[in-house]
């Protein structure tokens, strides 16, 4: 089944709503705002988790998401979520968003990742070809309570720690280290000038220097090997791995249902020709959302082939395409990924995005939270062959991308990684939220850290119950799951 695609007639930016007029408070006023929030919502209150009496059926929430997705891929999503409570958690952003909406909040908002679990952090190349560490998934990005990202991140370490067999005391220390680093970094950012906060970033060299004494020599060696591997993950590597020559032309290799070339989705004829023409039109029209110099660079490549690709865990079933382009010759490839952007899972709890185009919402959130973003990051709205209008964001498929291998991390290494993620999330939040008020709310003590550790343990129990509900739904035949993919 395919739904691609022709650019919709509406401009990608016509749906922007006017930004509210800003009020600039003094430092003292912002600090007072944070302290006042403590009185309204004590930091210890964040340690509580009790499912609401009217909590929706978590399986029904997943089923509702599946209604807008490619039907034959929805069982793959369930199969990936069945692997473990941790993989279930990765796909359960909507379930947790619903739960977080019932938890205490300070009233201080920032741009949220919306799905800030530990596997959505990693390394990638900056435009200056430096290897950076940052958040790397913004499908759910939307302004909202900063605590929600912290809780999603912290709980992911508790759940991953259980998956690794760590003792309760070890998991407690890992989660506390994550939150303490977030709190400490936010307080540091509160004291810095605006431009210094904006330019702050974590490159690989800084990462090594900061945490080299926290992990074993063996783990440092493994980390350096993973980083070296990330440097090889680029369009050329994807070109070698994902394509072959057919009748003198480069074509993407079929690996159904994970990668399905366009010719396997549509038979030869006018429909396929129309689709390929529409893909080329998509590339030409999306370039208007890029900076002018990058538009020129994109124009130096020409479209060659496309395939539908399954990505991630929670995203499985959304429409995602990989697009092969070539430059000066057949050894000058560019792989782009066009990924469908639906409404954020946060939207029903914090209100609609200011952007009418969800692709633009994702791009705006990424540019706001990341220290540096992909030079080909842009968006477009298209009308599929089924007549449905859908939003997409586009970026490079691979550009020195890499992530932590959670299954190999020992407790000391996971503690260091938790600190790294906590520091990174604080920097991302400090760019858009009131860092001074948030730092004032957090304070210098450990009460917030301990509260979030308590919440994470309680929510990990809830996640295990929800995971078992998925297992039961598959066993009973309510859901169909395709495993091993």
Strands in 88-211 per DSSP E: 109-112, 121-125, 131-135, 142-145, 202-203
Phi/psi at 249 (5° precision):
-125, 150
pLDDT at 18 (0 to 100) = 57
Pick from 363, 412, 366: which is nearest to 174 by CA? 412
User: Which tokens is 56 given?
Assistant: 């929706």
User: Percent of the chain scored above 90 by pLDDT?
Assistant: 75
Distances (CA, A) of 185 to 60, 179, 369, 423: 39, 10, 15, 6
The whole-number average pLDDT for the span 226-235 is 76
Measured over the CA atoms of residue 60, residue 61, residue 65 and residue 66, the dihedral's sign is negative
Q: How many residues does the chain have?
A: 485
CA distance 148 to 438: 13
User: Which tokens is 205 given?
Assistant: 């060299």
Greater model confidence, 2 or 78: 78
- Over residues 430-440, the pLDDT tens digits come to 999 999 999 99
- 395: CB partners within 8 A, 6+ apart: 336, 337, 339, 374, 376, 377, 378
User: Which tokens is 402 given?
Assistant: 């890499």
Pick from 411, 445, 421: which is nearest to 167 by CA? 411
pLDDT band at 226 (very low <50, low <70, confident <90, very high): confident
Phi/psi at 123 (5° precision):
-105, 150
- β partners of residue 132: 124, 203
Q: Which residue, chain included where needed, has tokens 């495993």?
A: 483
Most confident of 61-65, 129-133, 395-399: 61-65
Distances (CA, A) of 89 to 10, 37, 313, 393: 36, 30, 9, 24
CA distance 203 to 208: 9
Pick from 162, 179, 31, 146: which is nearest to 88 by CA? 162
What's the half-sphere exposure (Cβ side, CA atoms, 13 Å) at 246?
A: 12
CA distance 343 to 142: 10
Strands 259-261 and 378-384: unpaired
Greater model confidence, 66 or 276: 66
CA distance 103 to 388: 36
Greater model confidence, 237 or 192: 192
Q: Is the pLDDT of residue 21 over 80?
A: no
The DSSP line for 267-331 is -TTHHHHHHHHHHHHHHHHHGGGS-HHHHHHHHTSEEEEEEEE--SSTTBTB-EEEEEEE-SSTT
Strands 259-261 and 302-309: antiparallel
Distances (CA, A) of 54 to 99, 199, 218, 467: 11, 44, 49, 19
Quote the DSSP letter at residue 402.
B
Strands in 327-462 per DSSP E: 333-341, 378-384, 389-396
Number of H helices, E strands in the chain: 19, 14
User: Which tokens is 413 given?
Assistant: 């290494």
pLDDT at 19 (0 to 100) = 58
CA distance 147 to 452: 9
Q: Is the pLDDT of residue 7 over 70?
A: no
Rg (CA), the chain: 22
pLDDT at 223 (0 to 100) = 75
pLDDT at 5 (0 to 100) = 52
- Over residues 272-308, the pLDDT tens digits come to 787 787 778 888 889 999 999 999 999 999 999 999 9
Helices (H), ranges, 47-145: 58-66, 74-81, 85-90, 93-100
- Over residues 152-194, the pLDDT tens digits come to 999 999 999 999 999 999 999 999 999 999 999 999 999 999 9
């Amino acid at each position: 089944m395919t739904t691609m695609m022709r650019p919709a007639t509406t401009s990608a930016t016509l749906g922007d709503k006017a930004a509210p007029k800003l009020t600039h408070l003094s430092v003292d006023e912002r600090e007072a705002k944070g302290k006042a929030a403590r009185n309204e919502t004590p930091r210890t209150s964040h340690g509580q988790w009790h499912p609401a009496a009217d909590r929706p059926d978590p399986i029904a929430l997943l089923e509702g998401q599946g209604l807008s997705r490619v039907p034959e891929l929805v069982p793959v999503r369930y199969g990936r979520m069945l692997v473990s409570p941790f993989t279930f958690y990765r796909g359960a952003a909507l379930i947790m968003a619903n739960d977080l909406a019932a938890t205490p909040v300070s009233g201080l908002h920032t741009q949220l990742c919306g799905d800030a679990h530990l596997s959505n952090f990693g390394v990638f190349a900056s435009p200056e070809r430096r290897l950076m560490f940052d958040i790397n998934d913004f499908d759910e990005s939307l302004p909202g309570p900063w605590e929600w990202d912290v809780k999603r991140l912290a709980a992911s370490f508790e759940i991953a720690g259980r998956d690794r067999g760590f003792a309760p005391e070890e998991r407690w220390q890992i989660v506390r280290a994550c939150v303490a680093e977030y709190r400490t970094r936010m307080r540091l950012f509160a004291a810095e000038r605006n431009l210094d906060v904006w330019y702050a970033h974590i490159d690989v060299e800084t990462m090594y220097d900061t945490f080299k004494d926290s992990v074993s020599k063996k783990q440092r060696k493994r980390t350096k090997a993973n980083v070296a591997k990330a440097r090889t993950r680029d369009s050329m590597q994807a070109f070698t791995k994902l394509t072959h020559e057919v009748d003198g032309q480069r074509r993407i290799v079929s690996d159904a249902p994970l990668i399905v070339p366009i010719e396997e989705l549509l038979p030869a004829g006018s429909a396929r020709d129309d689709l390929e023409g529409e893909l080329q039109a998509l590339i030409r029209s999306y370039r208007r959302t890029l900076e002018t110099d990058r538009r020129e660079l994109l124009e130096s490549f020409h479209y060659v082939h496309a395939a539908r690709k399954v990505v991630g865990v929670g995203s499985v079933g959304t429409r995602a395409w990989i697009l092969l382009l070539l430059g000066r010759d057949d050894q000058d490839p560019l792989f782009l990924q066009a990924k469908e952007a639906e409404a954020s899972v946060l939207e029903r709890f914090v209100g609609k995005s200011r952007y009418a185009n969800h692709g633009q919402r994702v791009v705006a959130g990424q540019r706001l939270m990341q220290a540096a973003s992909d030079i080909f990051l842009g968006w477009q709205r298209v009308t599929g062959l089924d007549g449905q209008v859908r939003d997409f964001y586009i970026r490079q498929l691979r550009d020195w991308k890499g992530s932590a291998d959670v299954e190999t991390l020992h407790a000391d290494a996971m503690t260091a990684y938790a600190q790294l993620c906590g520091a990174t999330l604080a920097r991302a939040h400090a760019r858009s939220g009131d860092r001074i008020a948030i730092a004032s709310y957090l304070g210098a003590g450990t009460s917030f850290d301990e509260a979030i550790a308590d919440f994470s343990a309680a929510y990990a129990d809830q996640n295990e119950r929800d995971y078992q509900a998925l297992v039961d739904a598959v066993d009973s035949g309510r859901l169909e799951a395709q495993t091993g993919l």
